[in-house]
Structure 1
Amino acid sequence: MSDFIAAEDRPILERHGLANFDALWALQLEAVDEPNTERGGWSSVYRLELDGAAYYLKRQSNHLTRTLRHPFGEPTFACEFRNIRRYADLGIPALQAAFFAERKLPGEQRAVLLTRALDGWQDLEHWLQGWASLSTSRREAILAACGGLVRRLHDAGQVHGCFYPKHIFLREQGDDFAAQLIDLEKTRPLLFGERDRVRDLEPLLRRAAVWNEAEVRQLLVAYLGDSADVERWHERLGARRRRKGAR
């Protein structure tokens, strides 16, 4: 995969001498959290601000995922970058990449992924923490935004694979909310129809435990486009949630 630089971000990166892998790899920044070392290598995230534009710079070394196509492993950021581009091509709202590149060294695979910061957006977890204090209209708008986002994803033939409240970002727009997704590493094609849809959607409902039954149905109406099949979906999702909770 060749190096990628988004056209709209190239000028600012070039002004700061950061339009290449080596410069972004060597840049001295403070990590925003502890490095991820689960896959035998490491992966870290940093915040980068340039002339009023904010980014998140992700760097990793030997932090690999193994698939049939890449049995010896490839950087997890390579997979995430492909999915970022796929979402953009399919019109699914999601985070945007400014730069991506990877390098193979003796005994080491490195990758850099620069994404635009979602300043002005809040993840769904934030809204769930204050759910009881929200007005009915704001709750309904959030449910509609989340349901509509999942519908766009599944209608485009994709499964997110990690549908948690921390991966849905929301921003108020008048009386409505816009919604988009992050953490696209586990995205795959939707191959098994309703079964895939249920498996993708259920983790969101399990983690949004503050939603009552009526609110879950509101989300399903937004997801399905009408109320005709809501009860069957509600039962099927509830059955899966009970099975998962009993484990």
Structure 2
Amino acid sequence: MTRNPFIAVNARDVLSRHGLDSFEALWALKVDAVDAPNTGRGGWSSVYRLELEDANGQQQCFFLKRQDNHRTRTLHSPFGEPTFAREFRAIQVYARQGIPALEAAFFGQRNERGHAQAVLLTRALDDYAPLDEWFERWNQLSASEIRTLIQSAAALVRALHNADRIHNCLYPKHVFIKLHGDGAGARFIDLEKTRRAIFGRRDLIRDLETLHRRSKEPTRSQRLRFVLAYMGKSRVDTEARTFISELLRRTAGKGKGR
């Protein structure tokens, strides 16, 4: 049985134009996957790129995600639910709280002969690149570009933490940033594990430590610039020193645990 799907207002026309405004149509669509399916959690989950021409002849680009019996157990669903259902709820929360992130165009789920199936369609962030790709060309970037990347990433994480939430999987590949086009900006992707910062400052430090440990390219001074931008400070003071010490202690502790 298929539940009533969510369709974003700005996606309804183009999906209807191509007969893809239903769960069944998106589930049956023949399209090549962008990578190998994820076969964990007792089922499978796969991602596809979808390019659709709208009524004005413009290409609208999406990522289509489909999964079958790929579940996660949460307090919200102790017996398990499709991981995309959890991510879709997170996308909605981020939108309500003004935290820049990927946009949902369609979401639906159904139970088909005992199989929990879900479809999540999101807007492609083609004007953006993940932070780990920026790191690959770090040495070719200008000082002003690096400064903009650091400030954009810091502002994004600060907006998240100001909303009393953590990403909970804050890898560079989940922070998308653009430098040009209609202006610099940043957005989060992969919101499946995000949650409230129930442990306060400890959770925030944990989020930042993950990003710090996974980011190999920035120099010590660039990392310091990130922390200061995150804290809204222009120079190191007692509060910043304390915060940085906590962050470095956690990083050292993670290193010992490996």
> Shorter-chain TM-score: which interval?
over 0.9
Quote the offset at 1:175 in angstroms.
11
Q: Helix, strand or coil for the counterpart of 1:205?
A: helix
Q: Does 1:44 align with 2:31?
A: no
The superposition leaves residues 208-242 of structure 1 with CA deviations (integer Å, 9 ceiling, x where unpaired) of 12222211110011111114322222211111111
Which residue number in structure 1 is paired with residue 56 of structure 2?
none
Structure 1 range deviating more: 52-61 or 189-198: 189-198
Q: Does 1:210 align with 2:217?
A: yes
**In 2: Cα distance, 1:74 partner to 1:116 partner:** 23
Q: Does 1:113 align with 2:120?
A: yes
The superposition leaves residues 151-191 of structure 1 with CA deviations (integer Å, 9 ceiling, x where unpaired) of 00000111100100000001114797311100000010112
Which residue number in structure 2 is paired with residue 92 of structure 1?
99
Q: Helix, strand or coil for the counterpart of 1:111?
A: strand
**In 1: Cα distance, 2:48 partner to 2:142 partner:** 35
The superposition leaves residues 45-70 of structure 1 with CA deviations (integer Å, 9 ceiling, x where unpaired) of 00000011110000000000011331
**In 2: Cα distance, 1:174 partner to 1:46 partner:** 25
Which residue number in structure 2 is paired with residue 201 of structure 1?
208
Distance 1:128 1:59, change over 3 A: same
Which residue number in structure 2 is paired with residue 74 of structure 1?
81
Letter in 1 for 2:241: E
Distance 1:56 1:175, change over 3 A: closer
Q: Does 1:243 align with 2:253?
A: yes
TM-score, with structure 2 as normaliser: 0.92
**In 1: Cα distance, 2:29 partner to 2:4 partner:** 21
Q: Helix, strand or coil for the counterpart of 1:149?
A: helix
Q: Helix, strand or coil for the counterpart of 1:184?
A: coil
Aligned partner of 1:220 among 220, 227, 238: 227
* Alignment RMSD: 1.4
TM-score, with structure 1 as normaliser: 0.96
Q: Helix, strand or coil for the counterpart of 2:179?
A: strand
Letter in 2 for 1:233: F
Which residue number in structure 1 is paired with residue 23 of structure 2?
21
**In 2: Cα distance, 1:15 partner to 1:129 partner:** 39
Q: Does 1:179 align with 2:186?
A: yes
Judge conservation of contact 2:41–2:70 (CA < 8 Å) in 1.
Answer: yes
Quote the offset at 1:246 in angstroms.
1.8
Judge conservation of contact 2:26–2:119 (CA < 8 Å) in 1.
Answer: yes
Letter in 1 for 2:242: R
**In 1: Cα distance, 2:116 partner to 2:154 partner:** 38
**In 2: Cα distance, 1:8 partner to 1:176 partner:** 22
Judge conservation of contact 2:127–2:181 (CA < 8 Å) in 1.
Answer: no
**In 1: Cα distance, 2:188 partner to 2:68 partner:** 25
Which residue number in structure 1 is paired with residue 37 of structure 2?
35
Q: Does 1:231 align with 2:241?
A: yes
In the comparison of the two structures, how many residue pairs are matched? Answer: 247
5+ residue gaps in structure 1? none
Judge conservation of contact 1:217–1:230 (CA < 8 Å) in 2.
Answer: no
**In 2: Cα distance, 1:203 partner to 1:142 partner:** 18
1:125-164 alignment, distance < 5 Å: 125-164=132-171
Distance 1:174 1:222, change over 3 A: farther
